[in-house]
Amino acid sequence: MRSRSAILLVLLLTLASCGDPPRPSPIPPPAPAVVAGYFTEWGVYGRDFRVKNLQESGAVKRLTHLKYAFGKVDAGRCAAGDKWAAFGRPVAAADSVDGVADTPATPLKGSFGQLRKLKAAHPRLKVLWSFGGWNGSAGFTEAARDPARFAESCRTLLNDPRWAGLFDGIDVDWEYPNACGITCDTSGRTALTAVLAALRASLGADALITAAVPGDVGKLRATDYAGAARYANWLGAMTYDYFGASTGPNDRRTAAHSALSAYPGIPRPAATTEATVAELLALGVPAAKVLVGVGFYGRGWTGVDGAEPGATATGPAPGKYGKGIEDYRLLAGRCPPTGTAGGQAYARCGAQWWSYDTPETIAAKVAYARQQRLGGLFAWELAGDTPDAALLTALSGA
């Protein structure tokens, strides 16, 4: 019989030969639940971007939510914007989702009719009607004086017999409550909360109610966004346009307009996606209700004197649809990236300098949203993507 000490020695040698027990692999953060994109009402004109493009590019398979922008806030009530584009303009067979042309007898024409066809083909897609926007937010001040009347008008509009059932909810794009956009609002810190609470009471628990919120930290502190979040499915942070060739005192120096993080020489260290998200979380907004915004366009300067961010410029670069701005689909080949700053690409081409996101920089933003366990990401706006939806594919984490 072996001695007790011999048996103990055998056991120790056996354990040593087995090595450390295997450790379980860490659980990766979940993929963002929401992949949303704005479809602009005016895109059917100059950009010739139609609902059918979402199907042809494959974008509809990546999207969880589509936001139709914009309805109006008129006299404190929800109203249709461009009625011709939305539901009056006949769509030819070649431009139709199902290849069938609108006729005089078609009950719902325009983009609304096409969205109805798109939803029928992709029933998991949710569609929201977005109201306001940069040029259309002044009406929210009056809406905030009587939120119940505003909410009732929105419910009535969504249930119009011509398109009843098309929209799954409402997006409030108020730029900005209790702060300044084109005009200044002084409705108070709780105005947005009251508007969203009234919408929730009117539309019900199952409706989707969302809001776009500023990327600027100072504007975030002007409103009770934690209170607003209680009634919203999510808040979409507009984490872009921090800089541009006509946006403030630093508009004559190049800068990444939608940096993920700060970089040496950034004009305002808090003008980043990370800073905006950190502020929202510090204010008490749940991470699962925060969406990161990604611009599908670039901001550009001309007359630049250097290739790196911070170079002096003479003004905004020319763009097809406006000064100092250009869709990614046009920039990608014409002015390809020459570097990155704070997680956003930039490009020097001749006298011009542009900053914009690419599939690679968007992938880093998706990884950040996952790491922070945020609710998802959204795109402003879908017409800026390539014909094969390269940016949206990256936004979906594919």
**Hey, which residues are catalytic here?**
175
Beta bridge partners of 9: none
In angstroms, the CA 96 to CA 311 distance is 46
How big is the chain, counted in residues?
Answer: 398
- Tell me, what amino acid is at 67? K
- Other CB atoms within 10 Å distance of the CB of residue 88: 15
DSSP per residue, 266-315: -S-TT-SHHHHHHHHHHTT--GGGEEEEEESEEEEEES-S-SSTT-B-SE
In angstroms, the CA 137 to CA 98 distance is 35
Are 302 and 313 in contact, with CB atoms under 8 Å apart?
Answer: yes
- Tell me, what amino acid is at 2? R
- Tell me, what amino acid is at 397? G
- Tell me, what amino acid is at 132? G
Q: What H or E segment, with its residue span, contains residue 320? A: none
Query: Closest by alpha carbon to 136, among 201, 42, 235, 34?
Result: 42
Beta bridge partners of 299: 325, 355
